[in-house]
Every structure is written in structure tokens, then in C-alpha cells.
Amino acid sequence: MLDDVGFAQLSCFGGLVATPNIDRVAARGVRYSNYHTTPICSSSRAAMLTGRNAHTVNMGGHNMFARELPGYNGRIPASAGTLAENLRQAGYRTFALGKWDHLPVGDTSPSGPFTYWPLRQGFDRFYGFVASETDNFHPHLWRDTVPVNPEGKDYHLNDDLADEAIDMIRSRDGEARPEPFMMYWATGTAHAPHHAPQEWIARYQGKFDIGWDKARQQILEAQVARGFVPKGTKLAPRPDSMPAWNSLSPDEKRLFARQMEVFAAALSHADEQFGRILDELGRRDELDNTIVVIVSDNGASAEGGPEGTFNELYFATGPLPSAEENLERLDAWGGPETYPHYAFGWAVAGNTPNRYYKQTTYEGGVRVPLIVSTPGIGGKAGGWNADFTYVSDLLPSILDIVGVEPAAVVNGAKQSPFDGISFAYTLTGKGAAPASRSQYFEMFGHRGFWEDGWKIVAPSRLNAWDITARAKTDSPWQLYDLNSDQGEVTDLAGRNPKKLDELAAGFEAAARRFNINPIAGQRTAAIEAAQRNAADFRARGGKWHFTGPIARMFKQSAPPIERGDFSVTAHVELDAGTETGPIFALGGQHGGAAFYLKDGMPRFVARSLGGDVTKVSAAQAVGPGPHEITLSIKPANSSDAAVKLVTMALDGTTILREEIPLSINGVVPESFDVGRDDATSVSDDYAPNREFPGRLGSVTFEVGDRR
């Protein structure tokens, strides 16, 4: 499964990014030009693996914005067993690698619960990350349910995921007759951060100097020439905030071209690693007997905004960096010093000819590549299919192809029927498309309904990079005839009100059936989540107590030190008293905060998303033996709310008292750790993946109820 890869970004779909290994699967399989998915990752993955609509399995939004409502709570019901569960009951070995983010965010820490992790969702083995994204050079990985910290010169996540995939395939060699297997290889590419080895970036130098406008035109011409996009298809006008390429300054063109070079390098590099898995299957004489499915979870992402961002997390905090700020990181773009996302003009180009992008229910958000290769398709190999297919169709289709009956009971739970429909007939030639078909779409207030080539759309918030903007959940419907207008250029609502009313009634029926109501925008979902967090905070009295080191605590479960009103007391024991290492850390080199020892002296550091560092240090070393160290950060008696009073105490004696401007960012790319700092380090004063250098006893946080 690819991530945030649009309809037109693979070379075998007319795109400008070289994906030769995906192309070779396309040459022996079938490409689907009318495949649809949900507009965001968590929902699509849940729907694909369960064969049900996203709202049916309570994943109607992103897991970060779960709502305590049926359809949205992020907890997949036991009655919706996965593809892996069905195949495992039929004797298959099951492996999951890469991204796994369709689970409650509160369940992503080492203490679990692990109900919604891969090993409890039908998989025998798991190696990957339980988040929407991770640093590709310094990822937060798990082996099954145990955190691991891969290291090594020139490390990149996709290399590692390919190595692990090959090892899992080979693990069957000890069997007298190797069992069949199912592998879910979910690279995080091309979701931000767009990271690639430098030599891959160099391959694309100058490739995208043509700009996004000419790229759109070139891609459309290639699509029409290949016959999977109809002649006469029009490109939709550029969205608001997307400038014409010719209107940009030379520096802006240089910046935006570099952003796309990095994206392309990341996707091509992922393709290369995928090819290594295919090669291994070929060496084992298993490739010709293997079903290969290649799919993207949603359309290309516009979350980088009009100018892109050197740190993708600005998307969650705002405001996005300016072109000038991005240009300062131009040479480093795509390397480990950045956490980048391209400008949204490239997402528009990457979805050609479809309109808009990820998060929306326009075709650009939901119409993506699908390729299926399976033994015995004969003359269909290398061809195209234009039948409407949907993400929940994949599970019943795969079971149909391999001849496995859907399980009636999984782990003691009676199974609900699939919402998806098998499209195995498109590969085997047995059967036919349903005479009529419909499908709803909904995400953060964006609504849509497709029926027999006609589609209605009601947009909510088109600036996908601005999650603070208020969404419109009652926008009027637009009507498009996708049979002749794939780009959704001509709104026919005024000309054909009868058809619009028919489809609107279809959406309302689906909303009642599939737990879609009440519909809310992303901002509303975020407010609801904040209210739940506030209730949890009050219930625990603002106190967190740790009896020793802990790693990989998800931010939403950790002490909210970003409030700027907290104290932490740590009981430590040192041998020399001059050691260096973390007492606690939130985040890493791309943003966070840490309290640590440097040569035995307590220090606190806060690092902004832009890399600015604020640091305070006591002048006195702790010394050997057992000690109590306290850090307190409180609002100072100042008219400036940004000024904090920072106090440090050693065994009850104050060793630092200082008023400084201080802001702690609560949106970070890494976890909250006590007694260590996993992956990258917040401070340059200690090495990455560093543990506390002595014995760490209890650590207690008390957080004030100020916001």
C-alpha cells in the first residue's frame, strides 16, 4: 500500500515519477482507472482490511480526530474480521509491515492495550510504526509489540522494511511444505516527511523545472494517449491559492522544483525496495503463483500548503513557513535535517485530471491507482479496467480469487456481512459487473455520492493545510457526470435538479445506514478530542507518576507540558555525578523539549519546529549518589504570557531561578520518553537513542490547569 500517492504519480498511470517495479506488476496485471477509496489514510486502511465501509467499522475520520460516536470512535468491531483473519483461518501465514494507524491513539504506547494492533487483527508478525507518519531516517518502529530503534549509516526505513519482508518470506523455509502467505507491505511513502537518499534526489535534478502547469498538461496527454482517460477530458481550473507557474519568481521556481524532486526520489526509492521483494519471490519460484495488489490510500496531499514546508508538523500548528524560510533549507531538503512536504501545486498535478486532493471527496481525493496481478489472467495482462471499484471491494475480491469462503466467526465473534463487492470477474472473466452500483463518501464534513457514473459533491474545507478553519457541513450539492467529465469541471446541478435530488436522497439513506450522522468538520472533531483530554486531565488531578524509565508514550497520553505550567521531580542515582543523558524527552530534533544532565549539570531545552533552541542550565553538577532533582516551569509575574519562571532544585535547594521567554510545542514528530530519548535527540548535548546514564527511580509530573 502506497501513501498519499495520486492518480497520476506512477509512471504506469502517465506520471512523471519512474516506478519500474510497479510498472512490471502492471505489465502482468490489470490497472483500474475507476478505483475509489476514502479521502484519508486511517479510513482507507480500515475499509480495505475489513471489506466494510469506514463508518461501518468506526473509522469514519482519522484516528487522531476520533469522536466518541458510532462510526467515528476508531475501534474496529470484533464483528469485522480482517483479510488477515480470514486467510489465517484458511492456513495462511500473515505478515504486516510499515504503517498501521487505524487504531485508537491512546492504544499506541508500550502498555497497550493491543486489541487493535496487527497481532490482534489477524497478523502473525508485525514490523512497522503505529502512527500516521514517521521519520524515515530515524523511525519509531515496533517488532510485534516491542519498540525497536534501528540504527546504522545510511539507514532508510524502506530499505529496512524490504529486508524484513524478505526475512519473513524466508521464515517459511523450515516448513516441510511452506504455507501460503499474505503480506501487507505498507510503506509510509509518499506521505510526509518526504525523505530520500541523496543519490536518489540527484537523479531528478532539473526534472521538474517545467513546473506544475506543464506537468499537468503532459500527464493528461499521456493518459489520453494510453486510452484510460477519455479524449476531450478537461483539466479543472487551478484551485484558489495555487499560483500559475509562470507567475513565480526564480527562487520560488527553484524551491518548488526541488520539493518535487525530493518527492519523486522518495517514491522511486520505495519502488526499488518493493522490487527487491518481487525479486525474492522470483528467485523462490513463487512470483508466478502470487497475487500482487498495489494501491494508494487516498489522493495526493495538499497539506504542505501553497509554498510547502520544511517541517510538515507546521500543518498541525500553523502558520506554515514562508518561501523565504523554506529556501534557507533548500540544500538540506529531503535529508535528515528536514521533515518536509511539497507545495500543493504538485498534489494537484499528481491527481491529474482529477480535481482537488486528499481530504476532499472530489475525485482528486478519492480516485487513485489500483493494480492487481494474479495467475491465469491471460490476455488481460497489461490491460485496463474502467468498472467502478471501491476500497472495501479488495477483501471479498481476494477471497474470491484464492477460493476462501468468508469466515462466519472470528475469535468467537459472529461476522457482519461485507459492504464491498468482489471484482474478481475483471480478472478471471467469470461473472460480470453489477447492473447498478452506488457508493457514499464522507470525511470531515466533505460529502459525496456516486451512482452509475453520476456524482454529487459538497465541499467542506478546501484549504486542506489549515485545520483551524471552520468547516461547512451544509454546503450545497454540486453535480457531475463523470462519464464525460472526470475532472469535475462542469457543475450540472442547475441543469439536472432531478438527478441531483436522486443522488442526495441516496446519500441521506447511506448516512442513516452507515453511522455517518452527525457529520462534523475536522475542527469540531479536534475540539471534541480536546474536551475529552481535559476531562481526563481533571480526573487525574494533573498528575503523572512513573516508577522508572518508559519509552514511546504517545503525546496524547503524556503530561501536557506544552501548557508551560508544570513541575517534574526525579529521583536519580549516579556513579560519578558528571554523566550526560535525558531524564525525560518530548519529541526530537524537529521539535520538542527535554530535561537532562550535561556533565552532571541539569539542563532544560525547548526546540521549535523551525529549529530554534531555548536552553537553561544549572551551574552545579549533581554529584555521585542518590538525589532528588526538580524542574519547575511556571508563568512569570509578567505582562508577557510567553515569559516563564524556570526553577531547578537539587535535594530541595534551589540551584537555578531564571525568567526567560519560553514556548514548548505540543505537536511533535516523536514520542514522550522517561529515562531515554528514542530516535533523534531534542538536544545536541547528548546522542540519539540515549538512555539515562544512571539509575532512575520515580519521576512525578504535576501540571497546572492553565491553557
Span 542-703 CATH architecture? Sandwich (2.60)
CATH topology of domain 438-525: Arylsulfatase, C-terminal domain (3.30.1120)
List, for residues 491-518, the tens digit of each pLDDT value. 999 999 999 999 999 999 999 999 999 9
Single out the residue of 483, 537, 4 nearest to residue 233, CA to CA.
Answer: 483
Single out the residue of 332, 263, 241, 208 nearest to residue 4, CA to CA.
Answer: 263
| Residue ranges covered by each domain of the chain | 11-428, 438-525, 542-703
- Other Cβ atoms within 10 Å of 328 Cβ, number: 13
> Quick check: 538 and 80 in contact, CB under 8 A?
no
Single out the residue of 187, 205, 151 nearest to residue 336, CA to CA.
Answer: 151
Average pLDDT, stretch 446-451? 98
Mode of pairing for the β-strands spanning 383-385 and 292-295: unpaired
Alpha carbon 579 to chain centroid, angstroms? 38
Residue recorded with cell 523462490: 284
Q: How far apart are CA 566 and CA 647, in angstroms?
A: 11
Q: How far apart are CA 465 and CA 398, in angstroms?
A: 36
Confidence of residue 30 (pLDDT cuts 50, 70, 90): very high
List, for residues 208-256, the tens digit of each pLDDT value. 999 999 999 999 999 999 999 999 999 989 999 999 999 999 999 999 9
Cα distance between the two ends of the chain = 40
Residues paired with residue 434 on neighbouring β-strands, in sequence order: none
Report the interhelical angle of 394-402 vs 41-50 (nearest 10°).
30
Confidence of residue 556 (pLDDT cuts 50, 70, 90): confident
DSSP state string for 317-347: HSPPPPHHHHHTTTTTTTSTT-B-B--HHHH
* Whole-Å CA distances, 632 to 108, 140, 463, 614, 646: 28, 29, 39, 15, 6
Q: What is the pLDDT of residue 555?
A: 86
DSSP state string for 71-136: TTSS---TTS--HHHHHHHTT-EEEEEEE---S-GGG-STT---TTSGGGTT-SEEEEESSS---S
Average pLDDT, stretch 5-22? 99
> Quick check: 353 and 221 in contact, CB under 8 A?
no
List, for residues 569-623, the tens digit of each pLDDT value. 999 999 999 999 999 999 999 999 999 999 999 999 999 999 999 999 999 999 9
> Quick check: 646 and 633 in contact, CB under 8 A?
yes
Q: What is the pLDDT of residue 707?
A: 56
Please provide the average confidence, as pLDDT, over all residues in the chain: 96
Between CA 182 and CA 189, with CA 184 as vertex, the angle to 5 degrees is 155
Span 11-428 CATH architecture? 3-Layer(aba) Sandwich (3.40)
Q: What is the pLDDT of residue 418?
A: 98
DSSP class of residue 278 equals H
Q: What is the pLDDT of residue 471?
A: 84
Single out the residue of 570, 561, 544, 543 nearest to residue 630, CA to CA.
Answer: 570
Q: What is the pLDDT of residue 706?
A: 66
- Other Cβ atoms within 10 Å of 575 Cβ, number: 11
List the grid coordinates of 81.
474480521
Mode of pairing for the β-strands spanning 454-458 and 478-481: antiparallel
The answer, yes or no, to whether residue 178 has pLDDT greater than 90, is no
* Whole-Å CA distances, 350 to 164, 206, 212, 342, 657: 30, 18, 9, 12, 53
> Quick check: 252 and 242 in contact, CB under 8 A?
no
Radius of gyration of the chain (CA): 26
Single out the residue of 61, 70, 68 nearest to residue 443, CA to CA.
Answer: 61
